Amino acid sequence: MLEPEAVQAALLAAAGEVQALVNHLGVAARSANAAKLVFETDLQASFRRALQYGRTELVSVDTRLSGSGLLAQPCDIVVAARTRTPQLAAEIAWHPRGEDHAGFAQGVIADVVKMALARSAGAVEQAAVLISAPPRFWRWAPGYAQEHSGFELLTPDSDAPASAKSEFLAGPAWDSLFGPDTTSELPERLWTSVLADADVRSPWIESDLRLFEVKGIGKLRSVRPED
């Protein structure tokens, strides 16, 4: 497991590289396509380089944590260990201009579910989700979470982690998360806390980066009624 200070330093270094790219692109940074295709990829590459710095263990991108189910989907960042179990796995989500908050939030929760399962299944020592979103998204999230179960996982702060029973995933809104080859066994509760944060600021784009540590609490059990 990585030291919290090392993870925080890596996020700050990655945010600095993204800030430099935003400054270089100027007004083109306002393009939603540029944000999604350029900045998310650049954030992934920058975070990987920052985690690799001074480390002998390989830090890879787009790596599977398992051969089947949710964990067979490539993970954005994986930090190897001297044992078979990686030290850290992280998913990355960038909220571009023009994308609706609710759709983006649901995608992030899907990443949280995947990382919680990875931690509970012993596929990684530490799991995280790195979210880059404009300040207006973070202001919107608490109100949305009051009316939609599970979305409180987007609202931890530095002093108070957030958790939710995984039973909210039984709803039809989450059908796409569970394919025919995907088990619906998940931890009883999902848990998030703020591990590190940073920001990107320019006249053309503003984004707050928050790195959530993710855990699953309790035994694995089916969250889908048909299972």
DSSP-derived 3-state class of residue 183: coil
The model carries a pTM of: 0.92
Residue 227 has pLDDT above 60, yes or no: no
Does 181 reside within a domain?
yes
Averaged pLDDT for residues 119-131 = 96
In a domain, residue 197? The reply is: yes
Torsion of CA 94, 197, 6, 187, to 10 degrees: -70
Residue-level pLDDT at 155: 96
Beta strands in 2-53 (DSSP E): none
Q: In this predicted structure, what is the pLDDT of residue 40?
A: 85
Q: Which is higher by pLDDT, 223 or 163?
A: 163
Q: Which residues contact 204 (CB under 8 A, 6 or more apart)?
A: 22, 25, 26, 27, 28, 29, 30
99 in a structural domain:
yes
Structure tokens at 115: 């990382």
Within a domain: 227: no
Contact yes or no for 128/214 (Cβ under 8 A): yes
More confident residue, 146 or 28: 146
The pLDDT-based confidence of 21 (bands split at 50, 70, 90) is confident
Confidence tier at 124 by pLDDT (50, 70, 90): very high
Q: Is position 194 within any domain?
A: yes
> Is a pLDDT exceeding 60 seen at residue 35?
no
Q: Which of the four pLDDT bands, split at 50, 70 and 90, describes residue 130?
A: very high
Q: What confidence tens digit (pLDDT) does each residue in 39-76 have?
A: 788 899 999 999 999 999 999 999 999 988 889 999 99
Q: Is residue 28 scored above 60 in pLDDT?
A: no
Question: pLDDT tier at 97 (50, 70, 90 boundaries)?
Answer: low
User: Cα(94)–Cα(104) distance, rounded to whole angstroms?
Assistant: 9
Q: Give the count of domains, the chain.
A: 1
* Per-position DSSP letters for 191-212, written without gaps between them: EEEEEEEEEEE-SS-EEEEEEE
Query: Taking 80 as the threshold, does the pLDDT of residue 100 lie above it?
Result: yes
Contacts of 3 (CB under 8 A, 6+ apart): none
The chain-wide mean pLDDT, for the chain, equals 90
- Residue 226 pLDDT: 59
Residues 6+ apart with CB under 8 A from 107: 93
**Residue 78 belongs to a domain:** yes
Distances from the Cα of 219 to the Cα of 48, 68, 188, 211, angstroms: 32, 20, 6, 25
User: Is 93 in contact with 160 (CB distance < 8 Å)?
Assistant: no
Domain extent for 160: 4-222
Q: Please compute the mean of the pLDDT values over residues 112-137 and round it to a whole number.
A: 96
Is 80 among the domain residues?
yes
**27 secondary structure, DSSP code:** G
